[in-house]
Amino acid sequence: MNLKSLFSHCLPCWPKRLPDIPSQTSPPASAEHNHRQETVSPCRQQAATGNTREGRSVRQMVPLPKCSPTGMRLEGMKRNKYTCVSICTTWDPNKSSHNIRINDGVPSKLHREPVFQSTDLAMSDTGFSKGIHILDVEWPTKMRGSYAVIGVALAGTPKNEIFYTNLLGSTESSWGWDIKNNKLIHNGQTMGNYPKDKADGVFTAPSKISCIIDMNTGTIGFKTNEKYLGDAFSGLKHKTVFLAVSSVWGDAEISVAYNKGCNPTPLLLQDLSKLALRNRLEFAEQIDHLPTSPGLKRLIADKSIIDLDSIDENTHPQSD
């Protein structure tokens, strides 16, 4: 199948920026506006009015989750479309607080000593400056306490703080997800909720959390239960970051394991095309109005992972 011709039916009809979608209570459009609408494609007209064929209002439509290059790379790794690498990663005692014990026999597991009025940070022995990497952190929910943060830090980040606090994320050289309160922290400032679509206290991070370090784009994100929660931090390109945690819980034990990664690799054309389309859509209902095949619509909607080569060519008959 000619991939270029397949997408050429979709891309020209979509505006560079999706128009604001008015509510059903918006005032009637002017005659001049109505005349212009008669000449636009059905795809653009659908985006402008915000009404579906079923007559739903904007409030009833289903918002599409954010689609990012990091998320696309994760999907590609899951489908084995990239050559993956494996890097042995453990905790580094030289980059960790003196209140954290790392056993030489099992350097992938740390033990925080029960020290009163102290917050302690640990960092991985491996730094990441290129490629995308998935690191699994096992942190039992009963060993977190009031200040439990996971994220990344640069070399030289403070390793200990008197009193209890969110140490990771308190400086310019660290970025952390407070998994107790679901907040993103950097340079001592709260950057918002995470996951972004969850209100305070609604989401509970499980024992296993995957930290996604994508240095192709300088993005950090997290994954739980095989679901990518979205980009958490950006702007880290050209830096060397280390996986890090900060804890206040006495006798807490936290393990790290390198899951998989891949060297710097450009996104596939299929993924770039999907990303370009998804960034121009706001609601799932708009996908139905794309002038393309049902298989491609399913791919854009994340309803199924389909290689474009497997889409029935009868849905796009080729001209002689």
User: pLDDT tens digits for 225-237?
Assistant: 989 999 999 999 9
276 compared with 127, residue with greater pLDDT: 127
Q: Which two tokens stand for residue 38?
A: 């008669």
User: pLDDT value at position 281?
Assistant: 76
* Interior/surface letters 231-252, b for 16+ CB within 10 angstroms, e for the rest: bbbeebeeeebbbbbbbbbeeb
| Rounded distance between C-alpha atoms, residue 114 and residue 61, angstroms | 51
With 50 as the cut, is the pLDDT of residue 132 above it? yes
Nearest Cα residue to 190 out of 180, 119, 223: 180
What is the structure's pLDDT at 299? 74
pLDDT tops 90 at residue 243: yes
Residue, of 148 and 278, whose pLDDT is higher: 148
Mean pLDDT of 233-255: 97
pLDDT category at 8 given cuts 50, 70, 90 is very low
Which residue has better confidence, 3 or 167? 167
According to the model, what pLDDT value does residue 7 have? Answer: 47
For residues 225 and 203, the answer to whether their CB atoms sit within 8 Å is: no
Summarised one tens digit per residue, pLDDT across range 68-113 is: 778 878 877 777 767 788 899 999 999 999 999 998 899 999 999 9
Which carries the bigger pLDDT value, residue 268 or residue 260?
260
- How much of the chain, in percent, has pLDDT values that exceed 70? 73
Q: Which helix (H) or strand (E) holds 230?
A: strand 227-233
Average pLDDT, the chain: 79
Query: Long-range CB contacts (< 8 A, 24+ apart) of 168-172?
Result: 168/121, 168/244, 168/245, 168/246
- Whether pLDDT at 215 is above 60: yes
Q: pTM higher than 0.95, yes or no? A: no
pLDDT of residue 212: 96
Q: Is the pLDDT reported for residue 189 higher than 50?
A: yes
pLDDT at site 191: 94
**Higher confidence at residue 92 or residue 36?**
92
pLDDT value for 60:
66
pLDDT at position 80, please? 73
Q: Report the C-alpha gap between 5 and 12 in whole angstroms.
A: 12
Predicted pLDDT of residue 58: 56
pLDDT at 117: 94
pLDDT average, residue stretch 191-195: 93
The whole-angstrom separation of Cα 94 and Cα 85 is 26
